[in-house]
Amino acid sequence: MKAYIFPGQGAQFSGMGKDLYENSEIAKSMFDKANEVLGFDITSIMFEGTDEELKQTKVTQPAIFLHSTILAATLGESFKPEMVAGHSLGELSALVANQTLTFEDGLRLVSKRALAMQAACDYVPSTMAAILGLEDEVVEKVCEEIEGVVVAANYNCPGQLVISGAIPAVEAACTSLTEAGARRALMLPVGGAFHSPLMEPAREELAAAIEATTFSQPSCPVYQNVVANAVIDPTEIKSNLVAQLTAPVRWTQTMNQMIADGAAEVVEVGPGKVLQGLFKKVDRKFPTSSAELALS
């Protein structure tokens, strides 16, 4: 089976989506609709903006979502996903790709998500750190022993786990994890503790928006971050999406489950090749590729 996977925050770059806009009437129409839904000209920032402009809260997450979902829409008959998944933000792109959400509703939720997360970041000084070269269980145990809020947040691949929490607790955990044998404990240049209990204000705000949005029966299963399993029930999909902001991204577990369930190759839809690289960490021979605009 062919699986389509959708990247999360951090994959943005200046010029993203411009080739789609210039070469596809479908893409042009969707980008124009996005400007209308968001109430500002996000396309000009995506196509011509600086790296700093792309890092604006109101821009980053919608930009990645737009690149992914619009690229998927341009693939035409070649786009027939039998399973989908997305890393963090990418899960919303996946839910548009399997027709659970409309493009417009997905974009509205992404915009609200970004702003709610930024507001939550402003409450408590917080951050994230990448821990390389340790077993997941060791990282989890050390985090439990640290005073303050610090948790395992992104299970990216074997030997790479991102922790998240209050700055003093994350710094203390990095010291302890280095002593425990981590190859690296690298503080990340992020503005907050994503996928941790410190995102609770954002979870509450986004929950109301999700509950007010129509979720349709999907065309194929989505492997959701919270459960790392195939989900097809719209009510369950909603619940898992609400929980995602304060729960860990179980991407390692998701990749293993997709392969166990019959994924024979994955196609990354959106900017970058990060997710393909993570699949290669699980199995270096596993077939991966990037989606490309289908020109007829």
Q: Give the list of residues 6+ apart from residue 220 with CB closer than 8 angstroms, or none.
A: 81, 82, 83, 84, 98, 232
The whole-angstrom separation of Cα 37 and Cα 90 is 19
Number of C-beta neighbours around residue 265 at 10 A: 12
Question: Catalytic residue at 87?
Answer: no
**105 residue type, one letter:** D
First to last CA, the chain: 25
The whole-angstrom separation of Cα 101 and Cα 210 is 11
Which of the residues 24, 67, 68, 88 is marked catalytic?
A: 88
Which of the residues 126, 176, 195, 196 is marked catalytic?
A: 195
Buried/exposed code over 172-204 (b: 16+ C-beta within 10 A; e: otherwise):
bbbebbeebebeebeeeebebbbbbebbebbbe
Sign of CA dihedral 229, 233, 238, 239: negative
The whole-angstrom separation of Cα 266 and Cα 273 is 11
Question: Catalytic residue at 88?
Answer: yes
The DSSP letter of residue 100 is: S
Rounded to the nearest 10°, the torsion over CA 194, 196, 198, 202 is 60
The whole-angstrom separation of Cα 204 and Cα 207 is 5
Active site residue ranges: 88, 195
